Amino acid sequence: MERRNFIRNAALGGVALTGMAGTFSASAAAAETDISNKTRFNLKYAPSLGSFREHAGPDPVDQIKFMHDQGFRAIFDNGLMGREPGVQEKIANELGRLGMDLGPFVLYADFSVKSMVTRDPEMMDMLRKRMQMGLEVHKRTNVNTALVVPGRYDERLHWDYQTANVIESLRMCSELVEGSGMKLVIEPLNGLRDHPGLFLTTIPQAYMICKAVEHTHCRIVNDLYHQQITEGNLIPNMDMAWEYIAAFHVGDHPGRQEPGTGEINYRNIFKHMYDKGYDGVICAEHGRSISGKEGERALIEAYRKADSFEV
């Protein structure tokens, strides 16, 4: 499931807080199911808005209430930037009321263009405008991480020059958001299955770039689904890049579904994060192996099992 599908689903999950909003309530949804469980998870697993439409309905606020009722302490919304400002504020207000966190939103991720690798003046101007737009979202929502992707690589430019250009582009972007509470997170994506042709693909590469940018607002989101495909070695790479990791994305492989449906031992990985004292967001950026209400229940149970390590 590619990011554009997550963004589309997020938009559907947030169908206005008008019209149908109010026809469902989280408390009513919980009353209709046997999965209400206020036991908090050990870590801040963050389902995407839209993950529990069958139980909570289309209203994002009701979905947040439902997730909180199941013990989740965070959500994420890739499509947050595309929502109406009033909807953004209502989402943020409800999260604040419940003491929940909001994971990285997609600030800039165009997989079709060579954006940061060339230092093209038009691209630099576009990035400046995007940073300003991201700061406006930050002001309305207090979200503290925004995702950026350097784009495609250039077959006609030496790799080292491209790397230098990406470093300069990210330094410029980091300086533009400096002084705010919002950090930029760069995400390595796999080029073997989902995103061929992209510049940034591995955690060591992202670590090196953050070292070179040398700015507190430039960090990494470690997507363990992508990294299992690209390089494996998940826990050692996590440890090596730990100082720069600000958030995680998860999904099992193969299939990009909930933990327990593939080859990744998420129970061990989550315990490792917990033992290291990680208190950030872990975005559930994946689909469900089962559709309907049954699939939503299975998703919650998958995280209960993966979170059942000894503390």
197 belongs to a structural domain = yes
- Is-above-0.85 flag for pTM? yes
CB–CB of 12/78 below 8 Å?
no
| Residue 19 is assigned to a structural domain of this protein | yes
Return the CATH number at 228.
3.20.20.150
- For the chain, what percent of residues have pLDDT higher than 70? 88
Task: Establish if 36 belongs to a structural domain.
Answer: yes
| Separation between Cα atoms, residue 256 and residue 226, nearest integer Å | 9
Residue 311 falls within a domain, yes or no?
no
pLDDT digits (tens, 9 = 90+) for 5-21: 444 444 444 433 333 33
**What confidence category does residue 182 fall into, taking pLDDT thresholds of 50, 70 and 90?**
very high
pLDDT > 80? residue 31:
no
Is 17 a member of any domain? yes
User: Residue 271: what pLDDT?
Assistant: 98
- The number of distinct structural domains making up the chain is 1
Domain holding 157, by residue range, is 3-306
Q: How far apart are CA 147 and CA 135, in angstroms?
A: 12
Confidence of residue 26 (pLDDT cuts 50, 70, 90): very low
| Helices of type H across 178-233 | 203-213, 224-230
pLDDT at 34: 52
Tokens linked to 93: 């207000």
CB 127 within 8 A of CB 172: yes
Helix %, strand %, coil % of the chain (to 5): 45, 15, 40
Q: What pLDDT score was predicted for residue 93?
A: 98
What are the pLDDT digits (tens) for 83-105? 999 999 999 999 999 999 999 99
Residue 221 placed within a domain: yes
